[in-house]
Structure formats: structure tokens, C-alpha cells
Amino acid sequence: MGHYIEVESGVKVYVEDIGTGQPVVFIHGWPLNSKSFEMQANELALQGFRFIGIDLRGFGKSDKPWTGYDYDTQASDVKAVVDHLGLENFVLAGFSMGGAIAIRYMSKFGGQGVDKLMLMGAAAPLFTQRDDFEINLKPEEVDGIIEQIKKDRPAFLAQFADMFFEQEQSPEFLHWFQMLGLEAAAHSTINAAVALKDEDLRSELAGISVPTTIFHGQKDQICAYALAEEMNKQIPNSVLVPFEQSGHGINGDEPEKFNTELVNVLNGSEVK
């Protein structure tokens, strides 16, 4: 079933809520929405878990206000959903930008209610390079992306889909992926890209105290595999699960391995 939950006065986000059991809260990547996890929703419900997929503000079926695309506000929106649904002992699973927002949730709210953390292709601790951080995109490359979105958002999303996956996907799948991106507002897509470019989570990794599993594609062209190695070094009690055949979209490139590893983590049988 779907819920619309008010996260601040006049702003509602859409939440997909499927199955029963321990809740697993999924935060999607830029510029997608919770539908990007449909194969996980199905599998988790079958395995006795409760899938909760949040459409972040500006994306999917959620309201699309002009402001609030910084990680602080997005993490507060997640907290509002958690509080509204009364979630406890849940698994927080963030993909790409959603992984960054999950880390901010952990630091801003002391990981309230979180039993385990999963970071999947996470855009963390930084999405863009700094003088003292040489991994991933240069800030001006993100500026270039923003210009492309302003010029021709559908064409950009088609090109982005090609970068997103390492394995060959059907034309229909890639079209579906583009449509997910088009469900977002243009201003949301741009403002969230600015957050990706500017936000810095480096000081927030050491304080994460729950068991953390990092899923990352070794051929990722959007969030370099070196980011996963950095997170694994900095987050205490973290386990890195490499996806050798995957680009950024690991649940599309290696769907069977992704779901198997996901259920292993949820059942507490992951390799330490």
C-alpha cells in the first residue's frame, strides 16, 4: 500500500509499504524514485520482510517544492516517515545519493531506530573531488551535468542510463529507467545535483555504530569503487561486498547476486 506522509507543513512524500516483518527502509538514488527497487520489494515480501520505499521530495510521486534538497532536509524527511510509521529496529538501505542521505540520518539523529545500515553504490563520503580528496567526479563535471539537464533533460537521462549499467539491458528496461528520472521535477533534479556536488560526509563516518554493509560495483562510472573502499576504511564494523560485474546500477546488473546478498545481510548470515 502507499502512504502520503507530511514531512513539513504543506510537503508530503510518498511511501510504498509492502509486506510484513522487520522493516527495510530504502532511499533511492538521483534522479530516480522507489520504483527502482521493485525487484527488491517483491523478493523481500516473499522472504518475510517489510519493504518501505520512500520517494524523496522532488522525485517520484512526492511533492516537489522549490527548496529542501540538501542532505539535512532530506534526512529530516526520512525521520518524519520513520516517526509517522512508528518504525523500530529497521534496516536503513540507501542507494547512491540515498546512501549519502542515510549517512546523514545516522549522524543527525544518532541512527535512531536503525538496526543495520546498508550503503549501496553510495555517493559518499564525497561525490566530488576536493583539494584533499581525489576520488570521483570533479565539481565542474557536475556543473556540466546540470547544464545538460537544463538544455535537454530527456536526452541527458538517456545518456545517464547508458553510464549507469555495465551489463547490457533491454531497450525497454532503459526506457523504463529514463521514465523514472522524468517523474522528478527538473528543479528537484538540478537542486539535488547541487547537493551532491557540495555536501561532505567525511566527518560523519567514524560515528556510525551499527553493523554496516557496503555493496558497490567494481565498474561503477558514477560513484567510483574507491569511494566504497574509503567508506569501508572509515566506518567501524563495516563489510564491503564487491560486485565484480556491476556498474552503478548493481541491482540491474547483477540482480540475483544483489537479492541473495541483501537477504543474507537481513538474515544476519553475511560473511564477516
Catalytic residue numbers? 96, 220, 248
Is 249 within 8 Å of 164 (Cβ atoms)?
yes
Three-class secondary structure of residue 243 per DSSP:
strand
Amino acid at position 78, single letter: V
Preceding peptide of 65 cis, ω within 30°:
no
Q: Write down the H helix ranges in the chain.
A: 38-46, 71-85, 97-108, 139-164, 171-182, 186-198, 225-234, 250-253, 255-266
- Count how many residues are written for the chain: 272
Helix (H) or strand (E) holding 118: strand 114-120
- Distance from C-alpha of 243 to C-alpha of 269, rounded to nearest angstrom: 18
- Put the strands of the sheet holding 2-8 in their side by side order: 2-8, 11-18, 49-54, 22-27, 90-95, 114-120, 212-217, 238-243
Instruction: Give the pairing of strands 49-54 and 11-18.
Output: antiparallel
